[in-house]
Structure 1
Protein backbone atom coordinates (compact mmCIF):
# COMPACT_ATOMS: atom_id res chain seq x y z
CA UNK A 1 0.00 0.00 0.00
CA UNK A 2 1.09 3.50 -0.62
CA UNK A 3 1.57 6.02 2.15
CA UNK A 4 -0.98 8.45 0.68
CA UNK A 5 -3.93 5.96 0.82
CA UNK A 6 -6.65 6.81 3.34
CA UNK A 7 -9.75 4.61 3.74
CA UNK A 8 -12.11 7.58 3.98
CA UNK A 9 -11.02 8.91 0.61
CA UNK A 10 -12.65 6.22 -1.47
CA UNK A 11 -15.33 4.59 0.72
CA UNK A 12 -16.71 1.12 0.09
CA UNK A 13 -17.72 0.02 -3.40
CA UNK A 14 -21.48 0.28 -4.22
CA UNK A 15 -22.11 -3.48 -3.95
CA UNK A 16 -20.16 -4.00 -0.73
CA UNK A 17 -21.79 -5.93 2.13
CA UNK A 18 -22.78 -3.89 5.19
CA UNK A 19 -20.01 -3.02 7.60
CA UNK A 20 -19.81 -4.63 11.02
CA UNK A 21 -21.34 -1.58 12.73
CA UNK A 22 -24.27 -1.59 10.30
CA UNK A 23 -24.85 -5.34 10.74
CA UNK A 24 -24.91 -5.25 14.56
CA UNK A 25 -28.43 -3.81 14.52
CA UNK A 26 -29.63 -6.65 12.32
CA UNK A 27 -29.93 -7.54 8.70
CA UNK A 28 -31.71 -5.00 6.48
CA UNK A 29 -35.40 -5.82 5.84
CA UNK A 30 -34.76 -6.50 2.15
CA UNK A 31 -32.70 -9.55 3.05
CA UNK A 32 -34.44 -12.96 3.04
CA UNK A 33 -32.23 -14.04 5.96
CA UNK A 34 -33.78 -13.58 9.41
CA UNK A 35 -31.31 -14.15 12.24
CA UNK A 36 -32.39 -16.30 15.18
CA UNK A 37 -31.87 -13.50 17.70
CA UNK A 38 -34.50 -11.40 15.88
CA UNK A 39 -37.37 -13.50 17.24
CA UNK A 40 -39.02 -12.04 20.32
CA UNK A 41 -40.25 -14.34 23.07
CA UNK A 42 -43.95 -13.55 23.62
CA UNK A 43 -44.85 -15.70 26.62
CA UNK A 44 -47.56 -18.37 26.81
CA UNK A 45 -50.18 -18.44 24.10
CA UNK A 46 -53.87 -18.83 24.89
CA UNK A 47 -55.53 -21.71 23.08
CA UNK A 48 -59.21 -21.16 22.39
CA UNK A 49 -61.69 -23.61 21.00
CA UNK A 50 -64.87 -22.94 19.09
CA UNK A 51 -67.87 -23.57 21.29
CA UNK A 52 -70.97 -24.61 19.36
CA UNK A 53 -73.86 -22.28 20.09
CA UNK A 54 -77.30 -23.76 20.57
CA UNK A 55 -80.82 -22.60 21.39
CA UNK A 56 -79.98 -22.36 25.12
CA UNK A 57 -77.39 -20.17 26.92
CA UNK A 58 -73.91 -21.66 26.51
CA UNK A 59 -71.17 -21.89 29.14
CA UNK A 60 -68.00 -20.50 27.55
CA UNK A 61 -65.15 -18.03 27.81
CA UNK A 62 -65.89 -14.70 26.15
CA UNK A 63 -63.52 -13.98 23.25
CA UNK A 64 -63.57 -10.25 24.01
CA UNK A 65 -63.24 -9.88 27.81
CA UNK A 66 -61.90 -13.44 28.51
CA UNK A 67 -64.37 -13.98 31.37
CA UNK A 68 -66.01 -17.36 32.05
CA UNK A 69 -69.69 -16.78 31.31
CA UNK A 70 -73.06 -18.27 30.50
CA UNK A 71 -74.10 -16.39 27.36
CA UNK A 72 -77.28 -14.35 27.38
CA UNK A 73 -79.64 -15.06 24.50
CA UNK A 74 -82.12 -13.10 22.44
CA UNK A 75 -84.52 -14.73 19.98
CA UNK A 76 -85.47 -13.13 16.67
CA UNK A 77 -87.41 -14.49 13.71
CA UNK A 78 -85.11 -16.23 11.27
CA UNK A 79 -85.26 -17.26 7.65
CA UNK A 80 -87.40 -20.30 8.50
CA UNK A 81 -90.06 -18.08 10.11
CA UNK A 82 -90.21 -15.84 7.05
CA UNK A 83 -90.46 -18.77 4.63
CA UNK A 84 -93.27 -20.42 6.63
CA UNK A 85 -94.99 -17.03 6.93
CA UNK A 86 -94.91 -16.56 3.16
CA UNK A 87 -96.31 -20.07 2.59
CA UNK A 88 -99.11 -19.52 5.12
CA UNK A 89 -99.91 -16.15 3.50
CA UNK A 90 -100.57 -17.95 0.20
CA UNK A 91 -103.03 -20.29 1.94
CA UNK A 92 -104.68 -17.93 4.45
CA UNK A 93 -104.38 -14.17 3.80
CA UNK A 94 -106.04 -13.15 7.14
CA UNK A 95 -102.91 -12.41 9.21
CA UNK A 96 -102.05 -16.02 10.01
CA UNK A 97 -98.68 -15.44 8.32
CA UNK A 98 -97.35 -13.94 11.58
CA UNK A 99 -97.79 -17.17 13.55
CA UNK A 100 -94.29 -18.56 12.68
CA UNK A 101 -92.76 -15.39 14.17
CA UNK A 102 -94.13 -16.46 17.57
CA UNK A 103 -93.01 -20.12 17.45
CA UNK A 104 -89.69 -20.82 19.23
CA UNK A 105 -88.67 -23.49 16.71
CA UNK A 106 -88.65 -20.86 13.93
CA UNK A 107 -86.51 -18.34 15.80
CA UNK A 108 -82.77 -17.70 15.46
CA UNK A 109 -80.96 -17.30 18.78
CA UNK A 110 -78.33 -14.56 19.17
CA UNK A 111 -75.74 -15.00 21.96
CA UNK A 112 -74.21 -12.07 23.87
CA UNK A 113 -71.70 -11.77 26.70
CA UNK A 114 -73.48 -10.61 29.89
CA UNK A 115 -70.21 -9.10 31.14
CA UNK A 116 -69.07 -6.89 28.23
CA UNK A 117 -72.24 -7.10 26.04
CA UNK A 118 -70.19 -8.32 23.04
CA UNK A 119 -71.94 -10.28 20.28
CA UNK A 120 -70.75 -13.90 20.37
CA UNK A 121 -72.67 -15.53 17.54
CA UNK A 122 -75.97 -16.87 16.25
CA UNK A 123 -77.71 -20.22 16.29
CA UNK A 124 -79.66 -20.59 13.03
CA UNK A 125 -82.68 -22.85 12.75
Structure 2
Protein backbone atom coordinates (compact mmCIF):
# COMPACT_ATOMS: atom_id res chain seq x y z
CA UNK A 1 0.00 0.00 0.00
CA UNK A 2 1.42 3.34 -0.93
CA UNK A 3 1.07 6.22 1.36
CA UNK A 4 -0.73 9.19 -0.20
CA UNK A 5 -0.58 12.70 1.06
CA UNK A 6 -3.56 14.87 1.74
CA UNK A 7 -5.83 15.60 -1.20
CA UNK A 8 -4.80 18.59 -3.30
CA UNK A 9 -6.17 21.81 -1.92
CA UNK A 10 -8.16 24.31 -3.96
CA UNK A 11 -6.40 27.58 -4.76
CA UNK A 12 -7.01 30.25 -2.12
CA UNK A 13 -9.97 32.50 -2.65
CA UNK A 14 -9.54 36.23 -3.11
CA UNK A 15 -10.50 36.93 0.49
CA UNK A 16 -7.97 34.38 1.76
CA UNK A 17 -5.19 35.60 -0.51
CA UNK A 18 -5.66 39.36 -0.17
CA UNK A 19 -8.17 39.77 2.58
CA UNK A 20 -11.09 42.13 2.62
CA UNK A 21 -13.95 42.43 0.21
CA UNK A 22 -13.93 41.39 -3.43
CA UNK A 23 -13.20 44.49 -5.60
CA UNK A 24 -16.35 43.92 -7.65
CA UNK A 25 -18.45 44.15 -4.50
CA UNK A 26 -20.43 47.37 -3.95
CA UNK A 27 -19.36 47.25 -0.32
CA UNK A 28 -15.72 48.17 -0.75
CA UNK A 29 -14.17 49.47 2.44
CA UNK A 30 -13.30 53.14 2.72
CA UNK A 31 -9.58 53.58 2.45
CA UNK A 32 -8.03 56.62 4.00
CA UNK A 33 -6.12 58.67 1.49
CA UNK A 34 -4.17 61.82 1.99
CA UNK A 35 -6.33 64.67 0.77
CA UNK A 36 -4.60 67.67 -0.71
CA UNK A 37 -6.20 71.07 -0.60
CA UNK A 38 -7.57 72.01 -3.98
CA UNK A 39 -7.85 75.70 -4.84
CA UNK A 40 -11.39 76.95 -4.47
CA UNK A 41 -12.68 79.02 -7.37
CA UNK A 42 -15.39 81.46 -6.38
CA UNK A 43 -17.29 83.30 -9.05
CA UNK A 44 -19.18 86.39 -8.08
CA UNK A 45 -21.87 88.27 -9.89
CA UNK A 46 -21.51 91.98 -9.38
CA UNK A 47 -24.78 93.84 -9.86
CA UNK A 48 -23.85 96.70 -12.16
CA UNK A 49 -26.08 99.55 -13.22
CA UNK A 50 -25.94 102.68 -15.35
CA UNK A 51 -23.67 104.45 -12.84
CA UNK A 52 -20.71 103.52 -10.70
CA UNK A 53 -21.20 100.62 -8.31
CA UNK A 54 -19.65 100.27 -4.85
CA UNK A 55 -18.32 96.72 -4.51
CA UNK A 56 -15.32 94.55 -3.70
CA UNK A 57 -13.20 93.66 -6.71
CA UNK A 58 -13.07 89.86 -7.16
CA UNK A 59 -9.57 90.15 -8.66
CA UNK A 60 -7.63 92.42 -6.28
CA UNK A 61 -10.10 92.21 -3.33
CA UNK A 62 -10.09 95.98 -2.83
CA UNK A 63 -13.22 97.91 -1.86
CA UNK A 64 -13.88 100.14 -4.86
CA UNK A 65 -16.32 102.27 -6.78
CA UNK A 66 -16.22 100.93 -10.32
CA UNK A 67 -15.01 103.12 -13.14
CA UNK A 68 -17.46 103.31 -16.01
CA UNK A 69 -17.01 103.73 -19.75
CA UNK A 70 -19.91 104.12 -22.16
CA UNK A 71 -20.09 103.11 -25.78
CA UNK A 72 -22.95 102.86 -28.26
CA UNK A 73 -24.92 99.67 -27.96
CA UNK A 74 -26.69 97.53 -30.52
CA UNK A 75 -29.85 99.66 -30.42
CA UNK A 76 -27.85 102.83 -31.18
CA UNK A 77 -26.19 101.23 -34.20
CA UNK A 78 -29.44 99.74 -35.53
CA UNK A 79 -31.40 102.95 -35.13
CA UNK A 80 -28.53 104.94 -36.71
CA UNK A 81 -28.55 102.54 -39.65
CA UNK A 82 -32.31 102.96 -40.05
CA UNK A 83 -31.92 106.75 -40.02
CA UNK A 84 -29.32 106.48 -42.81
CA UNK A 85 -31.75 104.34 -44.85
CA UNK A 86 -34.46 106.98 -44.42
CA UNK A 87 -32.17 109.75 -45.68
CA UNK A 88 -30.73 111.23 -42.47
CA UNK A 89 -27.11 110.71 -43.42
CA UNK A 90 -25.64 114.18 -42.76
CA UNK A 91 -25.10 113.64 -39.05
CA UNK A 92 -28.63 113.06 -37.82
CA UNK A 93 -27.88 109.33 -37.91
CA UNK A 94 -25.45 109.88 -35.02
CA UNK A 95 -28.15 111.16 -32.66
CA UNK A 96 -28.83 107.66 -31.19
CA UNK A 97 -25.16 107.51 -30.14
CA UNK A 98 -25.81 110.50 -27.84
CA UNK A 99 -28.89 109.08 -26.08
CA UNK A 100 -27.93 107.53 -22.71
CA UNK A 101 -30.57 104.79 -23.00
CA UNK A 102 -28.89 103.52 -26.18
CA UNK A 103 -25.46 103.24 -24.58
CA UNK A 104 -23.81 100.21 -22.98
CA UNK A 105 -22.01 100.93 -19.70
CA UNK A 106 -18.80 98.94 -19.09
CA UNK A 107 -17.56 98.62 -15.49
CA UNK A 108 -13.91 98.10 -14.52
CA UNK A 109 -11.86 98.15 -11.33
CA UNK A 110 -9.94 101.44 -11.01
CA UNK A 111 -7.31 99.68 -8.90
CA UNK A 112 -6.31 96.68 -11.05
CA UNK A 113 -8.15 97.63 -14.28
CA UNK A 114 -10.00 94.27 -14.36
CA UNK A 115 -13.20 94.18 -16.40
CA UNK A 116 -16.17 93.61 -14.08
CA UNK A 117 -19.24 93.68 -16.28
CA UNK A 118 -21.55 95.46 -18.69
CA UNK A 119 -24.90 97.12 -18.21
CA UNK A 120 -27.25 97.39 -21.16
CA UNK A 121 -30.59 99.17 -21.00
CA UNK A 122 -32.23 96.65 -23.33
TM-score class, shorter: 0.5 to 0.7
Q: Aligned pair 1:60/2:92, yes or no?
A: no
Instruction: Note if contact 1:55-1:123 (Cα within 8 Å) is conserved in structure 2.
Output: yes
Higher helix share: 1
Report the secondary structure of 2:96's partner residue: helix
Aligned counterpart, 1:105: 101
Distance 1:90 1:65 in 2: 47
Distance 1:112 1:57 in 2: 9
Q: Aligned pair 1:77/2:72, yes or no?
A: yes
Paired residues, number: 94
| Aligned residue among 69, 90, 93 for 1:94 | 90
| Aligned residue among 97, 116, 119 for 1:120 | 116
Query: How far 1:78 moved relative to its partner?
Result: 0.9
Distance 2:101 2:45 in 1: 24
Q: 1:40 to 1:78 in 2, by over 3 A?
A: same
Compute the TM-score of the two structures, normalised by the length of structure 1.
0.63
Instruction: Name stretches of at least 5 consecutive residues in structure 1 with no aligned partner.
Output: 1-15, 18-32
RMSD (Å) for aligned C-alpha atoms: 2.8
Instruction: Name stretches of at least 5 consecutive residues in structure 2 with no aligned partner.
Output: 1-16, 19-28
Larger Rg: 2
Report the secondary structure of 2:50's partner residue: coil
Compute the TM-score of the two structures, normalised by the length of structure 2.
0.64
Instruction: Note if contact 2:44-2:58 (Cα within 8 Å) is conserved in structure 1.
Output: no
Report the secondary structure of 2:48's partner residue: coil
